[in-house]
């Protein structure tokens, strides 16, 4: 694909570009991401990067380095070492991560490993699923009639358990809207913690799976019924969960009709 006129950066041998691929829809790639795909010798990609996006780098070797809960996954240390190894071989290495590499994407860890190894890098942000994915579901993460704050939360920590360092009481009181990544496995615990912290059982919640893709599904429910309704609907990860009254805006903004 020919890029529009611009001084596009040249992908130099021995460099690693840490790049966000967006939430799924290939049309949500940035032009810098597309430029990287067109020049890369190797694309080291996550499980959430779809075939339509990978097909934009026909000249490149594709290396799967995805991590999915409950399935055999590459270790983060091994991924970082692989990036260093490929760069030292003189390859143009595109590390392609779903969403944005710095939003629960561990791009900071990979960038630090590259820096420690003396490997030059470029960082290319991407559209995060917690914003773009919800927009495709007709949910604005902020609306001036509803909220003046939004909090992004990961549903698990380094141990794959619900984060123990989070102050659910403080989060519940401080933020009108909560957006939870990777929360399906522990949604019962998360919902219970928020209810115990004072969030109302009737608070609107939306669960979006396969966000921005043709297979996108949206479940509208409440915090009190969240765990049971997810199970009844048979919804599975990957998912973004939005808690707060902005979910009600879907009644007007559900442009896809999902």
What is the Cα–Cα distance from 155 to 163, expressed in whole angstroms?
7
What is the Cα–Cα distance from 163 to 229, expressed in whole angstroms?
23
* Whether 97 is catalytic: no
* Whether 46 is catalytic: yes
Q: Which of 25, 46, 100, 210 is catalytic?
A: 46
Cβ-based neighbours of 185, under 8 Å, separated by 6 or more: 69, 70, 155, 156, 160, 237
What is the Cα–Cα distance from 250 to 106, expressed in whole angstroms?
31
Q: What is the enclosing helix (H) or strand (E) of 114?
A: helix 107-116
Q: Which of 182, 184, 210, 235 is catalytic?
A: 182
Q: What is the largest CA-CA distance in the chain?
A: 56
What is the Cα–Cα distance from 157 to 162, expressed in whole angstroms?
6
Q: Which of 56, 67, 229, 249 is catalytic?
A: 67
Active site residues: 46, 67, 182
């Amino acid at each position: 694909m020919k890029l529009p006129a611009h001084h596009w950066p040249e992908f130099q041998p021995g460099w690693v570009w840490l790049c966000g691929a967006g939430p799924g829809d290939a049309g949500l790639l940035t032009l810098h991401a597309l430029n990287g795909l067109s020049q890369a010798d190797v694309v080291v990609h996550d499980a959430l990067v779809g075939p339509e996006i990978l097909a934009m780098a026909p000249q490149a070797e594709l290396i799967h380095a995805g991590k999915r809960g409950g399935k055999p996954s590459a270790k983060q240390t091994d991924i970082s070492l692989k990036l260093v190894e490929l760069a030292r071989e003189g390859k143009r290495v595109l590390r392609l991560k779903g969403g944005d590499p710095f939003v629960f994407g561990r791009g900071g860890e990979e960038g630090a490993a590259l820096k420690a190894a003396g490997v030059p890098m470029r960082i290319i942000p991407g559209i995060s699923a917690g914003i773009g994915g919800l927009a495709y579901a007709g949910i604005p993460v902020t609306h001036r009639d509803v909220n003046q704050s939004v909090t992004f939360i990961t549903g698990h920590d380094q141990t794959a358990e619900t984060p123990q360092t989070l102050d659910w009481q403080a989060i519940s009181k401080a933020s009108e809207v909560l957006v939870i990544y990777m929360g399906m496995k522990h949604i019962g615990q998360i919902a219970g913690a928020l209810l115990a912290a004072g969030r109302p059982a009737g608070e609107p919640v939306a669960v979006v799976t396969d966000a921005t893709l043709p297979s996108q599904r949206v479940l509208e429910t409440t915090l009190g019924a969240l765990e049971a309704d997810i199970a009844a609907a048979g919804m599975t990860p990957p998912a973004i969960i939005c808690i707060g009254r902005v979910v009600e805006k879907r009644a007007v903004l559900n442009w896809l009709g999902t």
